Structure 1
Amino acid sequence: MDQEVQDISNFPAGYLIVDHEFNILEANAYVNETLCSSTGVAGLPLARILTKASNILLDSYIKPLVLVEGLVEQIQLSLRGADGVLIPMVVNIRSIAGLYYWTLFKCGKRETLIRELSDTKNALEQRGERLSRMLRDQDNMFAIIGHELRTPAATLSMQLDELGPKVSATELSKMKGTMLHLLDVIDSMRISSGNYTPNLVSEERSFSLAELVTDVVEDLKPSALLVATHIELQLCDQSAQLHRGHPKYLKTVIRHLIENAITHSKGTCVRLTLESELQPGGSAKFAMHVDDDGIGIKASEVERIFKPYERGEGVFSGKGLGLSTCETLLKHLPDGHLSYAPREPSGSRFSCDFSLSSILASKPDTQPEALLKGRRVLFVEDTPMLRLLGQKLLEKHGASVEVAEHGQLGLELALSKEYDFVVTDIMMPVMDGFEMTKSLVRKNYKSPIVGLSGATVGNEFQRLRECGAVAVLAKPLNLAQLTEVLRPYLT
């Protein structure tokens, strides 16, 4: 305590002088009053005084400070006044010749606002990081759910295709309908997860809207017959033409709207009507209406049923994702829109608008044999049954296929032999599809790589494309989709 204190006559009100052990050597009256002390505080530890005054353990704030000789450092704290009110303070600290000169300033409105904004910013950053971690965890969880559910479902679907000639058409249709429903639930979870953006460029296809609608209706007829409901189709001429668009998403929308009408309307007839308007350049704008003659929907329920996991009044079946899935998908399509209107005297009408790009002059040969015959294919899949069924399916259409049970073996085969294209699963032991694809791209591998994944609920599709895959398809292996994405690379 025998250190010489510099002249402090020019110090502003509110100063403290502290030695290297943080004992207070001198403090003025303003500080004594602020610290609720009517007597001098010289000789007392700074941390003890300020902790008592502010209920903040200041040792952790003070001792780690590394002060440059002569320069001013600034911290903020709150002192509790004699009336018990917390007083926000700004403290300037300067180290001179082994002493710490503290000058305390009571915060004005500006300083208080800056401090509050800083605290809010820090809190938001922390919450943002927690939310980011939660979304990453959610993506991983959805990926695992999708893989664990879709892989066995895809296996069963391919096995049903193999059994086709051995069972009746009705039984086969029922079994395939069950598989389609399970796969649809998985895809709807992905779309409604709140973290879904379709890749419109890589998933664009050429197709006939009339054929697409007819296929969906044929798939749903067994379900409609079970509840004595009849499905009618009224197609426009333009729908039979070949257009460029996104059949995968439109098929999901059409399926959901018809399925909802069959399941929930309690009517006897569901009618799908297509209208079109030709646009400049050969493109077409379509309006699709799905009508039923059922009980209709209360006006108070309409807004709610478009939200995820919400179902209409008195509806206890279904997952509550159909309409929200349709609305999400249509928002990503050109001129896409979904709306509802009541029908007179009863029933409902769901209408969706969308545009398809210019009509192609001629329909290309879409038969798988035209593209696969004589092709050398590497098929990488860890599930034994899917590996066998995928190999048989490709070979049935003229391809020569070699298989690998994980990415490391697939990498070695791809680099040691010549293949026209590679089809790979994503989630595999030893080496997954991400690492295998990245490794091949780093080595300037030229043949196209197509991903095949059951994890459609997370972000695996986008991740594999970023690794270098030309496209990623959902399990089970669909040759029409495979040949469509490979056509630009193999012709």
Structure 2
Amino acid sequence: MFSNVPIAKTDTLSRKAILKLTSKATNSLSEFKFEESLTTARLVLRYAIDRKDDYLVAKSYNMIAANFEAMSEVDKAAFYYKKGLAYADRTTNDSIKSSLNNNIGNIYCFELNNLDEGVDYYKKALEYSTKINDSSSIYITKMNIAWAYFYKGNFEKGKPYLDFINKHHSNFGGKSTVVTLKMLNGMFFTNQLEFDKAELFFKNAIKLGQGVSEKSDLSYAHQEYAKLLMKKGDYKNAYENLLLYNSIRKSIEDSNKVKRANIVGVNLELDEYKRKVDTIENEISLQDISLQKSRIIVVLFIIALTVVLLLLYNVYKNNNFKKKKNAELIIANEKLVIAKEKAEEASYLKSQFVSTISHELRTPLYGVVGITNMLLDEHKELADSPYLSSLKFSARYLLSLVNDVLQINKIEENRIVLESLTFNMVDEINMIKNSLSFIAKSHENHINISIDPSIPEYLIGDKLRFSQIIINMVSNALKFTNNGEVNIKADLVKIENKAHFIEFNIQDNGVGIAEEDQEKIFEKFVQIGRKEIDYQGTGLGLSIVKRLLELFDSTISLKSKIGHGTTFTFTIAFDYDPIKTTELINKIQVDLTSNEIFNVLVVDDNKINQLITRKIIEKNNYKCSVVDSGMAALEIVDTAKFDVILMDINMPLMNGFETTKRLRQKGVMTPVIALTAFDKDEIVEEALSAGINDIIIKPFEPALLFKMINQLLYKENQTELV
């Protein structure tokens, strides 16, 4: 979108100096120097207010808002644009009025998804530009209107504006608009299914965009070109263009620049507070609303904490139960046969207990995680709330705890089989480092990585189990280290045929482990040092690591000294086969998000789950219908057509398996995804026999659900569960 920030000229010396500062802020913004631009704009605002110059105040707010828009701070950008417009309306300068209305139109159309209100602002901008005969501003605003209509898929309304900018580009356009002009033509011809014409325009836009310093329009050209290529079935080139789009956006959105600029933004907000003229009644009202939200967050946090304590109590009871059974077996040795039967029964009960508890916990966890995300989406002002952050962390910690218990149970029952997948070890370790950055930051630690360059780029092995080992080891080191470092080191120590033996060292300079405790730490539920410091955890992490390494035919050793840190060492053999690696990589399918609007049916008897699942689906612009029973699902498919069905398993009267069987008997072949809190391994066979196409476990990442839906609807892997 094109922001219109004009610069006026005056013969007055002091006013001219202020305008020169405004020009400096504009130039800094064009170079994405947000901190410098905001600092200068803040200074201009102070001078303008001192002079009581409404025009200069409006220009200052326009520049401040443009910075926040570039940093994707949409709410702040809209606030400052409207504040600037309020001052501009006090002046007789139609140029600044046109500029601010144009920029507010950009916010509503492209950020707030309110096309009608955005176009109203654009039309106001056109009125002012036409009044002063500013052809350049008219051209930019009409280009934005065409883009907004195309962005929403309304090519019929956008076509007259495209015709205008095509006709007048040579007179009023220029290098700053030509890339967008070509891209808009490409979007139009893509919609008209004239793919060859569209492709020429996109390629021309990309070529021109590579020759200018401002790369934002070039990134959008790559994005729209990818959509065309996807429609043509050229998924590889579409994927490459999306990679280029992401790369350019990443280079533009420099997190350090944004972070420093946010500091200046805070100062701007402080200035605003000093100048605010809100009444005391409004302040009291806002405080009451904030207090009410805080109370809600505290209640939710207490609920989550209670669930965590209940789980820990159940885990403790389960551990005591097992110890008691072992003691009974030793005492009653003469009754070995009877004791063996009791032990088998106890093991079965434990598995059933873990499975039941996991299912019963995942269902409310789905609600906690979902409602937390809904609060963040619907109440942006709570994004920085420590209570909401604590709630979200507690929910994730509880989910991790449930998964740890299930993991131990699966290992003990020998239900884990290692897979052979191609993966990049460096990428996996770096991804783990990023995912653990929150723990590292909370303990003020640094994570260092050292990878032997002789290790091949792609290895073959079970990357999921490998990642679990590294995550558990590094997170354990971070928890017992403060103001220190955790080093991850990988060295190639031996090659036998295709097997590459890689030695891993996880080293920290934390509290260390006493020699008498070093053998205990790999036992379940053991936590050394609990008496002195409250380290979070259940004592399952290192036990899981040891057992997973046994699956890799490996062992783990450690060296440690109290107060001098700990080093864990283990070796894993991965295969290296360039031919097989190439075959596996070529089989990887590119997951591109579809532009189609699919109609989804949700079958779930839980009202909270219905609400959360509907929010997730509708947020992705899919249509959603919800029924609360299997019978209702059988009735609604007779009157409506759906692209995919999300089926809960545990429902009264008729469960998800039986409902799916009856759908298939009626001839309904719509793909069905089981949306359940059961462990996948427990229901996969029954799901297949019932006609269910795939399974996803609650709570889940929305991206995983939509990837699964796209794969099923485009007939990728639809005949087998993944």
State the TM bucket, normalised to the shorter chain.
0.5 to 0.7
Q: Identify the match of residue 350 of structure 1 among 568, 576, 584.
A: 568
Amino acid at match of 2:614: Q
Deviations 1:57-109 (A, max 9, x none): xxxxxxxxxxxxxxxxxxxxxxxxxxxxxxxxxxxxxxxxxxxxxxxxxxxxx
Query: Following the alignment from structure 1 to structure 2, what is the Cα–Cα distance between the partners of residues 170 and 242?
Result: 42
Return the offset for 1:211.
4.9
- What secondary structure, in the 3-state scheme, does the structure 2 residue paired with 1:349 have? strand
Matches within 5 A, 1:206-285: 210-234=426-450, 248-265=464-481, 268-274=484-490
Return the offset for 1:287.
5.0
Deviations 1:397-423 (A, max 9, x none): 354433332444345556876544433
Contact 2:440–2:447 (8 Å) recurs in 1: yes
Deviations 1:32-54 (A, max 9, x none): xxxxxxxxxxxxxxxxxxxxxxx
Q: Identify the match of residue 311 of structure 1 among 527, 541, 555.
A: 527
Cα gap change, 1:413 to 1:153, in 2 (>3 Å): same
Matched, 1:341 2:558: yes
Cα gap change, 1:430 to 1:336, in 2 (>3 Å): farther
TM-score, normalising length from structure 1?
A: 0.59
Cα gap change, 1:234 to 1:143, in 2 (>3 Å): same
Return the offset for 1:256.
2.0
Query: Following the alignment from structure 1 to structure 2, what is the Cα–Cα distance between the partners of residues 284 and 476?
Result: 37
| Residue of structure 1 in register with 2:647 after alignment | 424
Deviations 1:92-147 (A, max 9, x none): xxxxxxxxxxxxxxxxxxxxxxxxxxxx9x97665555444434433332233223
Aligned residues: 367
RMSD: 4.6
Cα gap change, 1:433 to 1:198, in 2 (>3 Å): farther
Deviations 1:145-187 (A, max 9, x none): 2233222223232334441554447957665433321111111
| Residue of structure 2 in register with 1:184 after alignment | 400
Cα gap change, 1:283 to 1:355, in 2 (>3 Å): same
- What secondary structure, in the 3-state scheme, does the structure 2 residue paired with 1:350 have? strand
Q: Identify the match of residue 388 of structure 1 among 568, 587, 611.
A: 611
Contact 2:460–2:574 (8 Å) recurs in 1: no
Query: Following the alignment from structure 2 to structure 1, what is the Cα–Cα distance between the partners of residues 480 and 670?
Result: 48
Query: Following the alignment from structure 1 to structure 2, what is the Cα–Cα distance between the partners of residues 351 and 265?
Result: 18
Amino acid at match of 2:517: E
Amino acid at match of 1:147: H
| Residue of structure 2 in register with 1:155 after alignment | 367
% of aligned pairs identical? 21
* Consecutive unaligned residues in structure 2, runs of 5 or more: 1-331, 717-722
| Residue of structure 1 in register with 2:701 after alignment | 478
Return the offset for 1:319.
0.8
Cα gap change, 1:469 to 1:270, in 2 (>3 Å): farther
| Residue of structure 2 in register with 1:83 after alignment | none
Query: Following the alignment from structure 1 to structure 2, what is the Cα–Cα distance between the partners of residues 341 and 131?
Result: 34
**Greater relative contact order structure (CA < 8 Å, 6+ sep):** 1
Query: Following the alignment from structure 1 to structure 2, what is the Cα–Cα distance between the partners of residues 421 and 206?
Result: 31
- What secondary structure, in the 3-state scheme, does the structure 2 residue paired with 1:428 have? coil
Return the offset for 1:365.
6.4
* Consecutive unaligned residues in structure 1, runs of 5 or more: 1-119
TM-score, normalising length from structure 2?
A: 0.42
Cα gap change, 1:479 to 1:222, in 2 (>3 Å): closer
Q: Which of the two has greater strand per residue?
A: 1
Query: Following the alignment from structure 2 to structure 1, what is the Cα–Cα distance between the partners of residues 611 and 359?
Result: 18
Cα gap change, 1:419 to 1:160, in 2 (>3 Å): same
Cα gap change, 1:138 to 1:173, in 2 (>3 Å): same
Matched, 1:320 2:536: no
Q: Identify the match of residue 369 of structure 1 among 584, 590, 593.
A: 593
Contact 2:422–2:585 (8 Å) recurs in 1: no
Cα gap change, 1:198 to 1:377, in 2 (>3 Å): farther
Q: Identify the match of residue 450 of structure 1 among 669, 673, 676.
A: 673
Matches within 5 A, 1:61-210: 127=339, 129-162=341-374, 163=376, 166-168=381-383, 175-193=391-409, 196-198=413-415, 210=426
Query: Following the alignment from structure 1 to structure 2, what is the Cα–Cα distance between the partners of residues 213 and 247?
Result: 10
- What secondary structure, in the 3-state scheme, does the structure 1 residue paired with 2:610 have? helix
Return the offset for 1:325.
2.0
Amino acid at match of 2:528: G
Query: Following the alignment from structure 2 to structure 1, what is the Cα–Cα distance between the partners of residues 436 and 686?
Result: 34
Return the offset for 1:425.
2.9
Q: Which of the two has greater helix per residue?
A: 2
Contact 1:307–1:323 (8 Å) recurs in 2: yes
Query: Following the alignment from structure 1 to structure 2, what is the Cα–Cα distance between the partners of residues 437 and 239?
Result: 48
